Structure 1
């Protein structure tokens, strides 16, 4: 991005730190030192990312490769890189501890967006980066990095949802459209105790999280008119001999040893699922289930993983540019080639043509619902985990389902009011 010096020279460095980085790089001050007029600017960028992106056992890691590519694209900088391992799932709790000394650029799961905004630890995208995000992504991915103020924060580079891996010698492509059909033919593992997973039964049956837009905290969480029926269905699953409780590892383990024929997971375990199933490897979106005689589509939460810059960075211009570069089409293609990370960029849909990538894309495009990003959503997980444990431990039964979910709803109302 080119800087508009006529406009920028009058801006104080403090203002540049606070203002969102705008079109054509008209943000000022990278606060680095320039070796000479018209020469390169020395900057230091502290970058946090997951361990897998920094694996150099087979040569340069993905992150190191992208950093080298960025240097070639931006010869105006002489960059000192400081890379540390912080996974996307841990970004918000690590960054918010001390935003001023946290990474200049980091990767995060979009469900943490509200927390990062509240901590003033994530920078609003400038005009160029916003244009990039809107050109690369579909509506769901764009919404995943859009705050309740309508502004964009973060550049998506992969989707984040779950779907089904299955043994295609056990189930046909038609079978996997119905959970009940699958349970009549083989062993199916599911994380019934995990809120991110079992919530799909409720959202499929009409549950709403913070209103229709997922952004209105005052609306709270409404599990819907079918909440008791859904809970009874889940409790009944626990009595089915073909239903296997997945604790987060037993599903994949069962797929490997043949005691499980299907389980639900994301693209991060695609390689392991493929290795486990060999020639019988297949993937598909989550199926429907039968509720009161009608088919109800399981509706998972979805979101993205994205790159962001820290508005407290000493070199905010370079940080914002690198965050955008991490989510560029070129970098996403490289991410897929080197690490198997399914790109969010819609122009790469034909490149990522493996079964898991196709299942993720179909899930996000056709059946998933965006997971709310407002900070009020943080109050959902603890009571939801308690309820999930009740399902998993059979404390919730078909006979007490109505009273147990009523207790859960009361807890949610108290936690999210």
Structure 2
């Protein structure tokens, strides 16, 4: 039997979904946003329709009328003479989208920006529309598979339009570490000072993933598989972390201490994301470097650190009154044209396949570090609501290592307690 690729499967699902007619309100989490009725011949004969759209995004994208969000929305309006759109903009950071949208889906934004780790909660709350038809085709064709998977739910449906990746990688001082040095964390610790946010649960998993631990199975979508952070493989990681913390060339990055250390020269490498790029460039000057994650050495073998990766995306409220315009806007805000403008205006690194060979983007060290990390040294962060059980036990484990509560002697016991806490944590 010929194996069907994930992308082909999604395209088939989208085609089938597009056959389902949409109503303007009362949609379910499986409501499909389709462009089937948007043929140009029909549009030409239809009178101009007045449309109102409420759009939510971060403050930085809507400081004034010349900011990215209003600029893109007005360009979209100009490109669609069939609609006379009145936009209402409200501030909602991507990280707060699920909380704010699910408070009252009926009055929430028609189009909003969200961090993809909230997808499971949004789908469960019937607060995000599934894409279908030509809109789905456009999103599938314009984004890497990893970004598509980041907005794909357990039902196989695609529920958002990615516009940037979301992960962390390594910044380093090129006068201290060579390009070969930064391939191995242990080599780096022999040559310079490294800071890492060990007490931050978004980061600590990178070490456990390196040695084969998993969250919700290999796919990251099997809630019944739970958290596999136990056994010998996990104990070996815990012992590595105890030794790492006690290494004289290692320090815990907390409350900005790593960045301060870069400025002062007491730290030569930190782990962070695009949000700190300008500050790190200022601190390192001509010695600025950024790259994907290094390996660590466990039981004499090099094991690849893997950060959580995801995306930031644009979603559509299934209860909006102007579904066709809302979905078309969402797809436009995630298009190559809008992503390029986002990069030029705010430095938001694009995901679009069409921009992968763009001269400016490909020459950007930070953009390439993020892209390479997502492609080579990351694990797609689970979007299931059950992921909520991960954060507190993982933060506590990092703090216990730093406080000295976890030692080489009790590593096995503490690791099993950590694994049990993950699998029994109350959401």
TM-score w.r.t. structure 1 length? 0.91
The answer as to whether partners of 2:22 and 2:32 remain within 8 angstroms in 1 is no
C-alpha displacement at 1:235, in angstroms? 1.4
Structure 1 pair 16/95, CA: closer, same or farther in 2 (3 Å)?
closer
Mapped pair 1:357 → 2:364: no
Structure 1 pair 255/25, CA: closer, same or farther in 2 (3 Å)?
farther
Aligned residues, how many? 399
Mapped pair 1:45 → 2:53: yes
Mapped pair 1:212 → 2:222: no
- Map of 1:3 onto structure 2: none
Mean Cα displacement is larger for which, 221-230 or 106-115?
Answer: 221-230
Deviations 1:100-125 (A, max 9, x none): 11111111111110000011111101
Deviations 1:273-308 (A, max 9, x none): 112111111101110011011111101111111011
Cα distance in 1 between the residues matched to 2:287 and 2:82: 51
SS in 2 for 1:396: coil
- Map of 1:229 onto structure 2: 236
Q: Which runs of 5+ in 2 are unaligned?
A: 1-17, 40-44
C-alpha displacement at 1:191, in angstroms? 0.6
C-alpha displacement at 1:233, in angstroms? 0.8
- Map of 2:290 onto structure 1: 283
Mapped pair 1:178 → 2:181: no
The answer as to whether partners of 1:122 and 1:153 remain within 8 angstroms in 2 is yes
Mean Cα displacement is larger for which, 247-256 or 202-211?
Answer: 247-256
Mapped pair 1:163 → 2:169: yes
Cα distance in 2 between the residues matched to 1:198 and 1:17: 37
SS in 2 for 1:39: coil
Deviations 1:288-334 (A, max 9, x none): 01101111110111111101111111222211111111100100011
The answer as to whether partners of 2:195 and 2:250 remain within 8 angstroms in 1 is yes
- Map of 2:355 onto structure 1: 348
C-alpha displacement at 1:395, in angstroms? 2.0
Structure 1 pair 116/15, CA: closer, same or farther in 2 (3 Å)?
closer
Cα distance in 2 between the residues matched to 1:13 and 1:170: 59
The answer as to whether partners of 1:195 and 1:385 remain within 8 angstroms in 2 is yes
The answer as to whether partners of 2:194 and 2:249 remain within 8 angstroms in 1 is yes
SS in 1 for 2:88: strand
Mapped pair 1:76 → 2:82: yes
C-alpha displacement at 1:256, in angstroms? 2.1
Mean Cα displacement is larger for which, 168-177 or 47-56?
Answer: 47-56
Cα distance in 1 between the residues matched to 2:401 and 2:27: 51
The answer as to whether partners of 1:123 and 1:309 remain within 8 angstroms in 2 is yes
Note the aligned Cα RMSD (angstroms). Answer: 2.1
Q: Which runs of 5+ in 1 are unaligned?
A: 1-6, 28-36
SS in 2 for 1:96: helix
- Map of 1:269 onto structure 2: 276
SS in 2 for 1:226: helix
- Map of 2:9 onto structure 1: none
Structure 1 pair 26/68, CA: closer, same or farther in 2 (3 Å)?
closer
**Of 295, 315, 322, the match for 2:322:** 315
The answer as to whether partners of 2:27 and 2:318 remain within 8 angstroms in 1 is no
Cα distance in 2 between the residues matched to 1:178 and 1:17: 48
Mean Cα displacement is larger for which, 388-397 or 99-108?
Answer: 388-397
- Map of 1:30 onto structure 2: none
The answer as to whether partners of 1:191 and 1:248 remain within 8 angstroms in 2 is no
- Map of 1:407 onto structure 2: 417
TM-score w.r.t. structure 2 length? 0.89
Structure 1 pair 315/187, CA: closer, same or farther in 2 (3 Å)?
same
**Of 379, 385, 399, the match for 1:389:** 399
C-alpha displacement at 1:392, in angstroms? 2.9
The answer as to whether partners of 1:287 and 1:298 remain within 8 angstroms in 2 is yes
Cα distance in 1 between the residues matched to 2:139 and 2:200: 31
